[in-house]
Every structure is written in C-alpha cells, then in structure tokens.
Structure 1
C-alpha cells in the first residue's frame, strides 16, 4: 500500500509555510503568515491535515517505547550502555517530558487549525466533515498521550492566536478525556471504514476509543468499540507471529494503524536500537545488520525468565543470530559479549536495511483488540466464554503447533482471568509501548517495579510537567512530588 501521506517534501514545505516563525512557547502559536488566507481549497485543507499528522512521528515509535516500556518490567537499558539513560531507574527530571509536551501541543494546534479553517472553505459538505473529523481524531490522539502521562493539561479547542490564549491553566483529567472520547466518537460516526495507509478511518477511531476506555476502566465502552473492530471482518491475525514485524508485511491484515516509514526517507530507529550493539560501543561492528545498530536497550532478565516457552518467545528475544554476511554462520551473544548482553530483542528484525529501517511502527493491531475485548468482557460478564475464544486465538498462534506450549485457557475465576489476560498482553505486545500503561491502569505499576528493586515513589505514576513550560505559563502547576 502507498506510504505517500507522510512524504517528507510535502510535510517540510507545509511546516515551513505555516510555522517558520514558531515561538519558543510550546502551545505552538502561529507565525505571522495568515492561516485563514492559506486555507482556500480542499487541497489546502489536506495539506494542513498532513501537517497535523506529521507530529505522530514524534510521539510514537521510540517515544512510545520510552514511556510505555523502558520504565516498566519488560525492557532495560543494555548493560553495554548502562549509563546512557535514566528511564529505567526513574532518575529523570522534569526536562524529560519536554519533547512529548511540545510535539503533542504542536499536533493539537495544527489539528485545531484544520478544524477551524476547513469549516470556512467552500467545498463539498461531506468532504469537509471528513477532514474535520480526521483532525479531531488526531487532536484526541495527542491529548491521550499527554493526559495519561501527565494528568490534566491545558485544553485548547481552537488554534492559538498570537499570544492571547496560550496561558491556559491545567484542565482536569475528566475534561480532557471528555474531549478525547467526544472527538473519537465523532470520527467513528463520520469517517469512512477504509483509508489510505497511515490515515485514520472509522475502525482506527474505534480501536483508539477501545484503548482509551480500557485505560479509564470503562469496560462496557471498551468492549463496545473493540467489538466494532472485531465484527467488521476487516482484520485478522497473521498466521505467523514473526510476520507481524517484517517490513514486507507492512499495512497487513493485523495492522489497524501503523506509522509509515520508508528507508532512506523516513527512517525507523526502533529496530536498530533493539538490535545487538557492537563490542565496546562500536555501533557498526555487530555483524547483525548492514546498517548502524544503536543497541541501547535489551530485554530485562525478568522478561526473559518469565516469558513462557513458545514460538512467540523465540520470535521476540534471542541469544544468537546469523552473521549478516550469510557465510560466517551463527554468532552467540555469549561469544560476542561475554555474558554482558545475554539476549537481544529480535522482534523488529529489519537486518538488511542498507540505510535505516523502513519497517512501519504499529500503533495498534488486531491482537491488542482481541485482548481488550477479552479483558473487558471478563469484567462485565465473567461467565461468558467468548472471552476464552478471543484470548485462545492469541495463544494458539503463539504456540505455533506445539501443543504443550501455552495450552488453551478455560474455567478460570474472574480474578485468575484478570491475571491471565494481563500476562498475555505482556508477552504478546512486548516492546510495542503498552506494558507500563497496562500496569498503571490495573494499579500494579508501583508494586511490580518495586519487586524489581527499583526505587519508585507513589507520585511517579505521573510524569512531571516540563519546568520550562511552567516558567513560560504562570497558570501551570507541577505534578505533586516533582516540584
């Protein structure tokens, strides 16, 4: 499928047009160029929409891994670069969230511009409604990244104009979530069921709504919207778990929404960062790939030990690989790293990329929806055996024909099923940016991290608001504990 909606030339030209004079204030006030003059045609509105989409890159992929995995129990900093980051030890300060804040509010403001100015264009009403609904869905996506990370944040439903309305105080979490669910619900109703690769459609909006409602503990609505995706018949599981993450299968049957990458143009750094880094910090000499391998993160010892034996595990982490030259043969991690780096994450295995990886990053996929539905149904109607059908579909694929691995579940108590589905999510969705959020929404984050020996204070359930923003906006207050 085409990946043209994120072509860098279009995005850069549009961003240069409307934000070349962007202020240091991260609520993204417009430049002196009149946006109302720019928005004259349907093509202008689409260009504006692409500008709003461009910030999805900044808050997904590597950023999603940092916020959703690196501060949880699945992922750790590679022992080879143990002094490089502070995410896994919770020693970061308020500067850490500056990029997320800036990117999300830029995306929100550009979405608001599309919503406001597209309404004034003389185009077909249906087309206009679709563009506006898509922009609202993007606004909801950006707000969801902010609110679950930092709690209540300033709420903007119109573009910032000059410096008159950029000092909003923090809205409550409920107010932010009301806007998120309202905007995504509008997208479910208004948008078409299919879209070009990377763009939001009605089923993507439904999947996002299911994720939002699950995070909020609204299991009835989570089930309702997950069921919409399941009943659509549009999506299914790949037969082979490893196939999900191969570049040649991008935008496949299981991928509900993917961030579009193209090697040499828009490069995905996640595969290289998960690959085995070269000895003594040599980025290039790992024998694993044709390109630079950052190798900054590794599976935690707990993840490797606790992951059930299965085909899925072998497609997720490995202690050896084949030399990229195709001649030398097997290279073991023990052989190269002497025990300092016993496993690497082989899930994102784009080894043959000559520049950087063009493998898409999956924001949400069908297996996630099945597990959401199973979890929600267990909370609403625990005696309904449909929940087993959904979770066992995941387990059947994971065992790949080996009947002794991951047998089908049945006859569990409601509480035991809660544990089972959370564990299934841990290993099925490993390193996809969901683990920390799953632990937080189930109230298990603090005890899980403390069991790993991490020093985690209660207030660290939320990330800090960037100090720079508090200095710029006198109406902002810092999250408790981060003062």
Structure 2
C-alpha cells in the first residue's frame, strides 16, 4: 500500500481537523459534501492512516531516548531530546511531548469522523458489505492504535468516541486508564472480526490493518495492563492477563503467515519490505508531491556522519550516543551490533569516538531532494518481537507453552545473531529482557519493556549513577514513567485536567 499517504483529503483535513482540543474537528459541512463515493471513503480512511506518519519518530524520541539505551545529553546547545533523556520536570511544552498528544488525537478525531460517515452513509455509497466491514475494522484498529500510544505516554485520557464540537471537547475530562483500555479492547475485538488476514491483501494494500495486526496489538494491550500499577495511574494495572495475551499470539502463529528470517539485516533491507517478519508496518512513499516519505531513519543519526559521506544535513543534528552499558551487553560476534550501531567516524578531520544507532539507514538510499523523503517503511510489529513477547507471557505464568519453548525461542534469536556458543537453559525474565534489548535496539520498545516488567525504577537509577559522567541528568522518580499533559491543554481548558504526578 505504498500510496496510502497520498491524501486527496489532506488540505480539507488539515485545515479543519483538531490538532488539540481547542479547535473544531472535521466540519460537518466538509464531511457532508465529501463522503459521496467509494473513493471518497477510501481517501477518508487513508487520511486516518496518515496520522501515523510521525509514530516511528515518536518512538525514537520518547521511548528509545528516554530509556537506558541512549545517553543523549546535549553537547551542542539545547536540544529538545535533552529534557526527555535527562528527566527534566519542565517538559510540558516540549515539542516531542506536544506532538505525541496532538498527533494521536488528530488520528482519533479523523477515525471518529470516518466511522460516523460510514455508519450514516456507508450502506448507501458502498454496496459491498465486506468492504464496509473491512473499512470499519481498519478505522477501529487505528483508533485503538492511537489510544494505546497515548495511554502508554500519558495515562488517563479524555475518552472521545465520536465527532465533537470545540465547545464540547472542553468539557470532556480525563477518564480512568481502565476505561480507556475497555474502549481499546472493544475496538480491537471488532477489528479482529472485520479485518482480513494479511495474505488476502494485494501487494499494493499490504500496509493496511489486518486481523493479525489487531491480534498483536490486543496481545500487547493485555501484557501492558498486566504490568505493575507503580502508583502513577499509568498503563500498568497489574491485571494478570498474560494468558489472554498468549492466546492472541498463538492465533497469529497458527495462521502460519509469518516466520523468522534467517538473516537479521534482511528484516530491514530497503528492497525486502513486507517480508515474512512483518505483521504490520507504517507505509511511506518517496518521490511524491507533497513529500510523504519517511523521516525516522535519521532521527538518531548525527548530521556530521552524513556529511562525512558528502551528503547534506539530514536533521539528526548532534550525536545521541549509545549507552556504554548497552554496548557492553553485545559480544564481538553479535551481528546485531555491527548492523545497528555505528562505532565512531571521522568528518572534516574531526574524529568522533562515540557510537550511535544507524539501524534504519542505508547510506546508498539517502534522499537528495528532501531529507524528509526516505524510501523505507517502519515495522511496527514483527514476528521475532511476537515470539519474545510470548516467551515473556510464559515466564509470567501463562499456560500454552513451556519454559523449554522459551529457551528455544531465545536460542533461535541468538543463533541468528551469530551467537553459536553454548545454548541457554532456564532463561530468566532478566535474561529475556536483555535479549529483547539487543534484538530490538532502535525500535522503540525498551522504555515500555522496563515499565511493563516493573524494573524501570531500579534500572534507571542504577544506570544513571553509572552512565551520567557529565552529571547532567536529574534523579529518576517512578512518576517519570508518564509524560506530562501538554501545558497547552491546560491553557485551553483551565481546571478540567490535573497534571500527572512529578511535573
């Protein structure tokens, strides 16, 4: 589905759709005049997908950078990521924090509008009932996707399940996390029933939501809920739903559509998109006008590295070094390290000895017309991640597999990485977490893994003590598992919200 980000609706939606709760969502007039044909509905649904465009950049800025994977204190002026990495209390106006709130709610508002139009006019306009169901399934999956992204960052949220006016939006308080989860699960249950399996899509539509993507997301929802509550009204509810999660993962495995590739780098090869690892990805298309390519490849890469190859600045600015603690966790033969991490470079006779994540960069594919136009999709859910998540469920007491199966999965992952020594036996939760860290470096999972496992406070405190040689990071408190609600929301709706603890 390489064309999914070409938006016939882009001007109408961007001009009339919320970026925060202070503005009017998509106007009734625009909707009434637009949703008249099947193609109108297709373009309207594509507009919902387009709200995912910044998702991978967000993961790198708010999860990867927040975690113990990067020691990303600034060495060249104040950078937006520094407050994220260093646990500053005053980040309620931070660019990345505001973007996470606004972009996800933009997607939710678009999904709500689309679903309303589908309910009122879909049967008349779209004769094929299967197409209507699939479209509803896609929109519900995306709405759940946006809400899940929000709940992991912010905890309690305003629950908005239909188009609302600006005045009404200002009266909707934040709902309890449990209520948000109930809404997400309802959407995903419907999506699972309505969506086709991935193999039923034509190549051009492989990026659309599919039944297995919805099951993967639902399984991750159950796992996240099962994490400790940490007394912050965050994403963990200590719900012990590991068994529910493993049921979803087993269904995906039984579908027999996915498998581990034999080569680690082949997963991310620009010429191998939609490979057997990919359960769901966010699609980008380079060379379009307006530009709808990817930007995430350079987010963690310093501009001077691109300049050392003769390219212009890409937007990565200064280096966000890989933590020494993580570098030490790789052995010399681990191909994941050499593929994912650049260990120093020289530019203009200046030697940089620190390492950075280059996982998504193919230096032969650097766009020359626009740094915002990289020709690569972002894999949101991949099969190896699923297998490791399933193993985590087993180690947390879920039935359906054994600890022997856990050992087999972890050893298969390590073998692919080139670690051919003695096989591990009796893999522990701590060992599994570290294997995920090495396998999924740069994919934005680490911060959420620490929170879900209940190890975030101990890990970050000890890591800061060892890694913060510059003394630039604030002391970590458990409240920082959440980000602050953007100050702009308080300015818009005084007295409606309370700020998250710690800010």
The question of a shared fold, defined as TM-score above 0.5 by the shorter chain, is answered with yes
For 1:409, the equivalent position in structure 2 comes to 424
Contact 1:350 1:359 in 2 (8 A): no
Say if 2:458 is the partner of 1:447: yes
> Alignment partner for residue 273 of structure 1, among 299, 319, 323?
299
Q: Tell me the CA shift for residue 290 of structure 1.
A: 7.3
Query: Using the alignment, how far apart are the partners of 1:290 and 1:109 within structure 2?
Result: 37
Could you tell which deviates more after superposition, 257-266 or 461-470?
257-266
Residue correspondences, number: 452
Q: In structure 2, do the counterparts of structure 1 residues 79 and 459 end up closer, same or farther at CA, with 3 Å as the change threshold? A: closer
> Alignment partner for residue 273 of structure 2, among 221, 235, 250?
250
Say if 2:367 is the partner of 1:350: no
Q: Tell me the CA shift for residue 397 of structure 1.
A: 0.8
Query: Using the alignment, how far apart are the partners of 2:375 and 2:356 within structure 1?
Result: 20
Contact 1:20 1:31 in 2 (8 A): no
For 1:431, the equivalent position in structure 2 comes to 442
For 1:366, the equivalent position in structure 2 comes to 383
For 1:393, the equivalent position in structure 2 comes to 412
Query: Using the alignment, how far apart are the partners of 2:207 and 2:273 within structure 1?
Result: 11
Q: Tell me the CA shift for residue 389 of structure 1.
A: 2.4
Q: Deviations over 1:376-408 (max 9, x none)?
A: 122224854222222222112111xx523xx43
Query: Using the alignment, how far apart are the partners of 1:34 and 1:289 within structure 2?
Result: 43
> Alignment partner for residue 188 of structure 2, among 184, 188, 193?
184
- TM norm structure 1: 0.87
Q: Tell me the CA shift for residue 468 of structure 1.
A: 1.0
For 1:88, the equivalent position in structure 2 comes to 85
Contact 2:70 2:323 in 1 (8 A): yes
Q: In structure 2, do the counterparts of structure 1 residues 395 and 335 end up closer, same or farther at CA, with 3 Å as the change threshold? A: farther
Q: In structure 2, do the counterparts of structure 1 residues 189 and 273 end up closer, same or farther at CA, with 3 Å as the change threshold? A: same
Query: Using the alignment, how far apart are the partners of 2:67 and 2:312 within structure 1?
Result: 30
Query: Using the alignment, how far apart are the partners of 2:487 and 2:299 within structure 1?
Result: 29
Q: In structure 2, do the counterparts of structure 1 residues 389 and 334 end up closer, same or farther at CA, with 3 Å as the change threshold? A: farther
Q: In structure 2, do the counterparts of structure 1 residues 82 and 34 end up closer, same or farther at CA, with 3 Å as the change threshold? A: closer
Query: Using the alignment, how far apart are the partners of 2:376 and 2:38 within structure 1?
Result: 31
For 1:311, the equivalent position in structure 2 comes to 335
Query: Using the alignment, how far apart are the partners of 2:331 and 2:484 within structure 1?
Result: 35
Q: In structure 2, do the counterparts of structure 1 residues 26 and 44 end up closer, same or farther at CA, with 3 Å as the change threshold? A: same
Query: Using the alignment, how far apart are the partners of 2:243 and 2:341 within structure 1?
Result: 35
Query: Using the alignment, how far apart are the partners of 1:33 and 1:447 within structure 2?
Result: 53
For 2:60, the equivalent position in structure 1 comes to 65
Q: Deviations over 1:331-381 (max 9, x none)?
A: x4599554x542232322321223342121111111100101111122224
Q: Tell me the CA shift for residue 180 of structure 1.
A: 0.8
Q: In structure 2, do the counterparts of structure 1 residues 51 and 305 end up closer, same or farther at CA, with 3 Å as the change threshold? A: same
Q: Tell me the CA shift for residue 80 of structure 1.
A: 5.0
For 2:476, the equivalent position in structure 1 comes to 456
Contact 2:12 2:30 in 1 (8 A): no
What secondary structure, in the 3-state scheme, does the structure 2 residue paired with 1:204 have? helix
Q: In structure 2, do the counterparts of structure 1 residues 308 and 449 end up closer, same or farther at CA, with 3 Å as the change threshold? A: same
What secondary structure, in the 3-state scheme, does the structure 1 residue paired with 2:67 have? coil
For 1:4, the equivalent position in structure 2 comes to 3
For 2:152, the equivalent position in structure 1 comes to 148
What secondary structure, in the 3-state scheme, does the structure 1 residue paired with 2:411 have? helix
Could you tell which deviates more after superposition, 93-102 or 81-90?
81-90
- TM norm structure 2: 0.84
For 2:501, the equivalent position in structure 1 comes to 480
Query: Using the alignment, how far apart are the partners of 1:172 and 1:24 within structure 2?
Result: 23
Ranges in structure 2 where 5+ consecutive residues have no aligned partner: 227-240, 465-472
Query: Using the alignment, how far apart are the partners of 1:88 and 1:165 within structure 2?
Result: 32
Q: In structure 2, do the counterparts of structure 1 residues 467 and 314 end up closer, same or farther at CA, with 3 Å as the change threshold? A: same
Q: Deviations over 1:268-323 (max 9, x none)?
A: 23322333532xxxx75222757736254231122112223412222221325xxx
Contact 2:219 2:249 in 1 (8 A): yes
For 1:324, the equivalent position in structure 2 comes to none
Ranges in structure 1 where 5+ consecutive residues have no aligned partner: 321-331
Contact 2:414 2:420 in 1 (8 A): no
Query: Using the alignment, how far apart are the partners of 1:126 and 1:347 within structure 2?
Result: 39
For 1:54, the equivalent position in structure 2 comes to 50
For 1:173, the equivalent position in structure 2 comes to 177
> Alignment partner for residue 140 of structure 2, among 136, 139, 154?
136
Q: Tell me the CA shift for residue 76 of structure 1.
A: 2.9
Q: Deviations over 1:72-119 (max 9, x none)?
A: 111232765474232211125111221111111110011011111101
RMSD, aligned α-carbons: 2.4
> Alignment partner for residue 259 of structure 2, among 230, 233, 236?
236
Could you tell which deviates more after superposition, 309-318 or 165-174?
309-318
Contact 1:274 1:348 in 2 (8 A): no
